[in-house]
């Protein structure tokens, strides 16, 4: 599914003329991957370290005095909207490199491992290689920088041996699967080989790696302090995905949909947390433009580590938020997760159904991994928790539905607004961080409150 061309108006693939012109501009203005890897972790706010951003910023068009005054008023209103019911409870900068990021689905990686294939992945602008010993029932995964220390050939072009060692295809150097220590240099004599292999300069630069929720996760910071922190810090906790492995909770879930996208991580997060765009941007696929989403959002949590949450709320700010509505919410969980939770009570009020309220909830989880400047990788999964109250025919139909049909729907959804988002990134917004969003966005309604909360979190 990842290789399918996105379609824009007129049937032109985004991978050719339209997207190429956009991505060439953005990449030309982004720092190199090597510079990004050396970028310091300090700075003002989270945006200082949001992976790999431009050192040359796009400049917004000049504005007259009256326009500046109106923008100042809008900016004050935005701050009030996004922070009215939220408190910032954590101090200090968010460390983007000392977090766990999903890089692929376990099922797809296991298939490639069985073929002895090293797997290239990109994370925060850096090329990495993932591999595993073939034929093992309990797979032990390894990850290193995608460079052979000999002459910097990509290890992802090599092969994995029966014992799990990875071999460079250029000169045949071999490395241990867990430590990355060099074990074979064919060009050296036996006496020299032992000496050379013992040198730290001949060792692969390894990264922590683990499996959780059916995904393979990698930790970018492999410094001594970073490695120590990775031992104590788990990936982001996601209740719907935890429930899938819980025998006490009946769930109904689909398979992961994975795709690489040609726009920035923060553009994707901003898009996913904005539920109000769905009936318009995806009309006929999900919802319809004649039936806009009838609710707003009310930010109830704003925290450096816990992220931003907004509950479903009436459109009118003067109306109080019923307690039943607060059971349904949308949230951003740093560094990569977005979750939608809709309770049975919410569905009853939206659809007018008379069903008795129960514990059942529909959950959407989207994981957004920043891969490179202007690029990200998504993992999309829906899960119904406490599905025992669903009619058995609905369960049967859901379980029998072919995976390709589910993926086709997801492809149509992401295709339908991909060009909008790619164009949005060229409209005077400072690349990567959108630092000047306050000057350019006009966000007067309650539907925008979670977008504002996320933008303020990045700031």
Residues 168-192: what's their mean pLDDT? 94
Give the separation between CA 286 and CA 289, rounded to whole angstroms. Answer: 10
Check whether 359 has a pLDDT greater than 90: no
Token reading at 104 = 């692929």
Q: Shortest CA distance to 364 belongs to which of 391, 383, 337?
A: 383
131-155 pLDDT tens trace: 998 877 668 899 999 999 999 999 9
Q: Give the pLDDT band (50/70/90) at residue 420.
A: confident
Residue predicted with more confidence, 429 or 207: 207
Report pLDDT digits (tens) over 261-270.
998 899 999 9
- Which tens digits make up the pLDDT trace of 8-35? 233 333 333 333 333 333 333 333 333 3
Q: Could you read off the pLDDT of 43-56 as tens digits, one per residue? A: 334 444 443 333 33
Helix H segments across 58-164? 65-83, 106-114
pLDDT at 346: 66
pLDDT in tens, 384-400: 888 877 777 877 877 77
Q: What percent of the chain has pLDDT over 70?
A: 76
Give the per-residue pLDDT at 386: 84
- Give Cβ neighbours of residue 59 (< 8 Å, ≥ 6 apart): 428
Distance from C-alpha of 429 to C-alpha of 263, rounded to nearest angstrom: 13
186 has a pLDDT exceeding 90? yes
Report the pLDDT value the prediction gives residue 425, as an integer from 0 to 100. Answer: 82
Average pLDDT over residues 319-348: 86
Confidence of residue 323 (pLDDT cuts 50, 70, 90): confident
């Amino acid at each position: 599914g990842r290789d399918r061309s996105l379609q824009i108006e007129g049937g032109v693939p985004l991978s050719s003329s339209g997207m190429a012109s956009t991505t060439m501009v953005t990449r030309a203005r982004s720092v190199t991957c090597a510079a990004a890897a050396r970028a310091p972790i300090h700075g003002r706010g989270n945006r200082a370290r949001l992976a790999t951003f431009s050192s040359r910023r796009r400049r917004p068009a000049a504005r007259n005095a009256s326009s500046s005054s109106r923008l100042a008023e809008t900016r004050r209103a935005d701050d009030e909207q996004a922070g009215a019911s939220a408190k910032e409870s954590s101090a200090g900068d968010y460390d983007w490199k000392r977090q766990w990021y999903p890089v692929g689905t376990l099922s797809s990686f296991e298939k490639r491992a069985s073929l002895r294939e090293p797997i290239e992945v990109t994370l925060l602008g850096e090329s990495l290689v993932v591999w595993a010993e073939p034929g093992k029932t309990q797979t032990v995964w390894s990850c290193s920088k995608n460079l052979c220390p000999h002459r910097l050939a990509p290890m992802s072009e090599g092969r994995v041996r029966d014992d799990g060692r990875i071999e460079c295809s250029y000169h045949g150097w071999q490395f241990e699967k867990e430590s990355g220590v060099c074990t074979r240099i064919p060009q050296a004599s036996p006496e020299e080989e032992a000496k050379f292999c013992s040198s730290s300069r001949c060792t692969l630069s390894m990264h922590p790696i683990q499996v959780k929720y059916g995904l393979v996760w990698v930790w970018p910071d492999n410094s001594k302090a970073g490695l120590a922190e990775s031992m104590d810090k788990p990936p982001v906790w996601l209740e719907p995905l935890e429930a899938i492995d819980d025998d006490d909770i009946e769930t109904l879930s689909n398979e992961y949909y994975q795709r690489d996208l040609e726009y920035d991580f923060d553009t994707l997060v901003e898009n996913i947390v904005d539920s109000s765009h769905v009936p318009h941007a995806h009309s006929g696929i999900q919802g319809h433009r004649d039936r806009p989403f009838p609710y707003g959002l009310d930010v109830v949590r704003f925290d450096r580590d816990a992220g931003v949450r907004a509950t479903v709320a009436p459109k009118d700010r003067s109306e109080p938020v019923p307690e039943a509505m607060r059971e349904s919410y949308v949230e951003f969980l740093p560094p990569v997760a977005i979750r939608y939770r809709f309770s049975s009570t919410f569905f009853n009020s939206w659809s007018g159904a008379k069903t008795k309220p129960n514990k059942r909830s529909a959950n959407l989880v989207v994981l957004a991994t920043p891969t490179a400047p202007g690029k990200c990788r998504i993992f999309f999964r829906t899960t119904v928790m406490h599905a025992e109250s669903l009619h058995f025919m609905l369960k049967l139909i859901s379980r029998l539905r072919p995976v390709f049909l589910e993926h086709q729907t997801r492809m149509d959804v992401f295709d339908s607004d991909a060009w909008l988002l790619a164009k949005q990134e060229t409209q005077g917004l400072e690349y990567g961080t959108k630092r000047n969003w306050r000057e350019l966005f006009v966000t007067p309604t309650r539907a925008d409150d979670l977008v504002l909360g996320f933008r303020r979190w990045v700031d």
